[in-house]
Amino acid sequence: MKRTQLRFPAARHWPEQTQHDHLEGFEDGPSLTPKQKKFFRRRFCCVDRGKCTLCSDEYYMVRDELWAASGVEPNGGMLCLLCLERRIGRALTTADWTTIGPSLDAWQQHIATRSRFREDE
């Protein structure tokens, strides 16, 4: 099977993402400490673009060797799907997921976005 080499524009040209929609109302509660709020704000954001992977349903797990190829340390943060593809230099496939993949809606939206980048070349 031939792998497609992807070229994406620099992250500064990507659309802005509303961040942390999942925390609205939740972080205002009296039960969270400032340290816990900081954890939620950092835990789910793409380390390259800051996009919230939990808000966009791009929460996933890939094989260890694929994650190592991305250059992010284990437990070193999250990457959105576009940033992971950019870092590994190829398109993701369903075979790359382990037990958890992105939601079907997020995956379909990602495929559509990826197609737009190819059309712009």
Domain boundaries, the chain: 18-120
pLDDT at 60: 92
Q: What is the pTM of this model?
A: 0.69
Condensed to tens digits (0 to 9), the pLDDT of residues 31-44 reads 767 787 677 667 78
Three-state DSSP class for residue 72:
coil
| Mean per-residue pLDDT, 55-63 | 88
Tokens encoding 40 = 């939620």
Condensed to tens digits (0 to 9), the pLDDT of residues 90-109 reads 999 989 999 889 999 999 99
Instruction: Place 76 in a pLDDT band, splitting at 50, 70 and 90.
Output: confident
Q: pLDDT higher for 102 or 7? A: 102
7 DSSP β-pair partners: none
Q: Are 27 and 40 in contact (CB under 8 A)?
A: yes
Three-state DSSP class for residue 45:
strand
